Homo-oligomer: A and B are copies of this chain.
Amino acid sequence: MNDNISNRKEYKDIVVALDAMGGDHSPKIAVQGACKASLNNDFKIFLVGDKAEIKKYLDKYKHDEDKIQIVHASDQIRMGDHPKDVLRNPNTSIGIAAKIVGDGKADALISAGNTGAVILAATKNIDRIVGVRRTALATIYPTHNLQKRKDIFSLILDVGANVHNTSHEIVHFAFMGNAYVQAIKGIESPTIGLLNIGSEEYKGGEVLSRANKILRSIPNINFFGNVEGNDLMKGLVDVVVTEGITGNIAIKTIEGMAGSMKKVGKIAFKHNVLWKMGMVMLAAGIKKLQDITDFETYGGAPVFGFEKTVIKCHGRSTEKSINNALVLAAKSVHEDMSGTISRSIANYEHRSGLEEIGREVNY
């Protein structure tokens, strides 16, 4: 997919804007993550938020001064605030970070803040890829990795930026997920599955059966076919595409179950000495259980549809996950992920257009 018009950037020329005030432990965790990333990478980081507060933590942690710059923002959106506040208030950290990216002063946006505010700030400030009708929120989730990939994570989108989608929008999601896995995992031809009610091609009503038909017909997409709810954890495919409502409910169901499994483990561990000994003996088994229920090791989840990379991190992000998100964002810029998405969708829309014209001529 990386053709000659690819717009790859050298790492030293890449700048990532990090909303330092988003997330449960801001700005401490954001600053820690940025400091860590600055020591091991060539790209630069803008830390956007309250200058005094950021400086306080920056003075504490070892970092490369040449790679980190503070951009002051006097205000911030908190988890409980209405996402729309970001449109009313010009001084929020996420708003200013998105504006820097939109203005071309940075290449990627990262925030662990309020998801709605991140999407709105991006929508207001960053151009949408031509031809993209709906942005999509993706989630990376852990699987049993039946494909035996290097990591155990699959990508699922959309998980709630939309409720219902058209077949064409679901096809766009496939291009987005495809470009992401190519850029981030270096897998040349990622497998794509369509979340559905059954494995048969005709299943799932008009939108899904049509999406299945189109996905089968696209030469650049390695379409696996339909996947069902009980396939999600298996890791049969690299990317699962779905309407927003089904993706949202599936991923929250997995998170809910993973949470209850972890709780059982924690209760067991605290309960008494016998249980604790049992847990230690079972360590390897428990580790396996934790691996497949751990959403936090991965850096963050992309918001697709913009000309620049946008990564939403979990509110409970750690130093490690912020560091990972920064590396992920820089890599997606280096590999020109947005350019790949843009070209795939342009080609597809062009081809669809020709087919429409073809049909009209035939009648």
A interface residues with partner B (beta carbon < 8 Å):
144, 160, 163-164, 195-198, 204-205, 208, 228-234, 244-246, 248-261, 264-265, 267-268, 271, 274-275, 277-282, 284-285, 288-289, 292
Q: Which chain B residue shows the least CB distance to A258?
A: B257
- Cα–Cα distance between A271 and B282 once the two chains are bound (Å): 10
Give the one of A245, A248, A249, A254 with max B CB within 10 A: A249
- Enumerate 28 A-B pairs (CB-CB under 8 Å) in ascending A order: A144-B260, A160-B197, A163-B204, A195-B249, A197-B245, A205-B245, A208-B245, A228-B248, A228-B249, A228-B252, A229-B254, A229-B256, A230-B253, A232-B256, A234-B256, A246-B246, A250-B253, A253-B254, A261-B289, A264-B285, A267-B285, A268-B285, A275-B284, A275-B285, A278-B278, A278-B280, A278-B281, A279-B282
Chain B hits for A251, CB < 8 A: 229
B281 & A248 in contact (Cβ 8 Å cutoff) = no
Chain B hits for A288, CB < 8 A: 264, 267
Chain B hits for A249, CB < 8 A: 195, 197, 228-229, 246, 249-250
Q: Which chain B residue shows the least CB distance to A261?
A: B261
Give the one of A253, A256, A257, A267 with max B CB within 10 A: A253
Extra inter-chain contacts (12) besides given A232-B253, A268-B282, CB under 8 Å: A163-B205, A195-B249, A229-B250, A230-B252, A230-B255, A232-B256, A250-B250, A261-B289, A275-B285, A277-B281, A278-B285, A281-B281
B257 & A254 in contact (Cβ 8 Å cutoff) = yes
Chain B hits for A282, CB < 8 A: 268, 275, 278-279, 282
The smallest C-beta distance from A212 to any residue of chain B, in angstroms, reads: 13
Chain B hits for A279, CB < 8 A: 278, 282
The smallest C-beta distance from A335 to any residue of chain B, in angstroms, reads: 31
- Cα–Cα distance between A265 and B289 once the two chains are bound (Å): 9
Q: Which 8 A-B pairs have the closest CB atoms?
A: A229-B252, A278-B281, A230-B256, A278-B282, A229-B253, A268-B285, A163-B205, A229-B249
Chain B hits for A253, CB < 8 A: 229-230, 232-233, 250, 253-254, 257
